[in-house]
Amino acid sequence: MQLASQQLESKDVKVQLLLAGGYEYTVYLKSDAPLLHSLLTTVVARAYNKEAAEHNLFQIPIDAGHSALCFSSDRLVGVVTEPPVWIQQIEEVKPPSLDILNSHYIQIENFLPPQEYEQLINYVLDKESDFVATSTSTKDQDYRRSMVLYSFPEFTELIVKRIQEIMGDVISKLGLPSFVISQIECQLTAHNDGNYYKMHNDNGSPETATRELTYVYYFNKQPKAFSGGELIIYDSKIENNFYVNAESYKKLEPLNNSIVFFISRYMHEVLPVICPSKAFADSRFTINGWVRR
């Protein structure tokens, strides 16, 4: 912070000092006196919470030099000047925070035993006609393209149980404080040719605010018949007290029979899938959802 008293020429200024405890003293100072500058600087520094750790001592001659007024700078509450001495405050320009908060995730391969994985693939291929087009809370048509199956009770219980078993480990590996799980949500998605999900987070509305962790279990028929569909998890930065995405990110392959966990507030997106056959069976499948506190 810089401070400049805007006085063109040196002249006498009547300075009323307002001290803690309701004390007031009047002194006369030259407008360019270092002491006046110092008094004003003290008041301004307090306004910006920038008081030096050590206070300085003011010693001001009064009564034509017969007496001295002494006080510590932390006792000075305000200054009344006549004529006015306007203080030009030049705030330090704070550059935007450049601190990038690295996003963390966990990817576990071979999540389901081969037999359960086979059953799941067969189950999904059987359920093709029950899949519906996905939507987003904003109903923006272009934000998300994929198909979803909301009810698959045969596998929900199995997945939820497996997630519960490893939750303690996941939470500690992600460095999160432990929390009591109230619910684990589940959906089953299929991304086919040209499908995607643009950048979003998973807990940005009142209904989703208690989502702590996002998980995505990836599976596909083998050999894999699509490309793309990577999951992008953005790093974060804090802007105006809000978490926003940084430019940097992690790019994750949707690895067959693997599961990924990350914090639901991270911004993330699904890159477009290229599936030349356009066959449902060749889709990028997920069982994904959220762990709520």
Ligand X SMILES: O=C(O)CCC(=O)C(=O)O
Contact residues for ligand X (CB under 6 A)?
189, 197, 202, 216, 231, 268, 270, 286, 288
Closer to ligand X at the Cβ: 184 or 216? 216
Question: Hey, what are 163's tokens?
Answer: 């997630």
- CB contact at 8 A, 51 and 45: yes
**Based on CB atoms, which residue is closest to ligand X, 58 or 155?**
155
**Footprint on residues 32-91 left by Fe ion (CB under 5 A):** none
- Kindly compute the dihedral angle of the four CA atoms of residues 228, 231, 235, 241, in this order, to the nearest 10 degrees: 120
Pairwise CA distance, residues 13 & 76, whole Å: 18
Whole-angstrom CA distances from 140 to 211, 219, 232, 245 are 22, 27, 20, 20
Q: Which partner from the list Fe ion, ligand X, none does 226 bind, CB cut-off 5 to 8 Å by kind?
A: none
The tokens describing 194, both together, are: 């040209």
Closest CA to 176 of 209, 213, 204, 208: 213
CB contact at 8 A, 213 and 265: no
Q: Smaller CB distance to ligand X: residue 58 or 105?
A: 105
**Number of residues forming the site for Fe ion (CB under 5 A):** 1
Residue range at the interface with Fe ion (CB under 5 A); choices 24-32, 171-179, 201-209, 274-282: 201-209
Minimal CB distance residue for Fe ion: 202
- The one of ligand X, Fe ion, none whose footprint includes residue 231, by CB under 5 to 8 A per kind, is ligand X
Long-range pairs for 132-140 at CB < 8 Å and ≥24 separation?
Answer: 134/189, 134/197, 136/200, 137/205
Report in angstroms how near the CB of residue 43 gets to ligand X at its nearest: 53
Q: Could you say which of ligand X, Fe ion, none residue 245 binds, taking C-beta under 5 to 8 angstroms by partner kind?
A: none
202 touches Fe ion by CB under 5 A: yes
Residue 225 beta carbon to ligand X: minimum distance, rounded to whole angstroms = 17
Which of the listed partners (ligand X, Fe ion, none) does 216 bind, with a CB threshold of 5 to 8 Å by partner kind? ligand X
Cβ-based nearer residue to ligand X, 5 or 210: 210
DSSP state of 63: G
Based on CB atoms, which residue is closest to ligand X, 167 or 231?
231
DSSP collapsed to 3 states, 178-243: CCCCCEECCEEEEECCCCEEEEECCCCCCCCCCEEEEEEEEECCCCCCCEECCEEEEEEEEECCEE
185 or 193: CB nearest Fe ion: 185
Partner whose binding site includes residue 262, from ligand X, Fe ion, none (CB under 5 to 8 Å by kind): none
Q: Give yes or no for residue 269 binding Fe ion (CB under 5 A).
A: no
Instruction: Give dist(CA 37, CA 87) in Å, integer.
Output: 10
Residues that bind Fe ion (CB under 5 A): 202
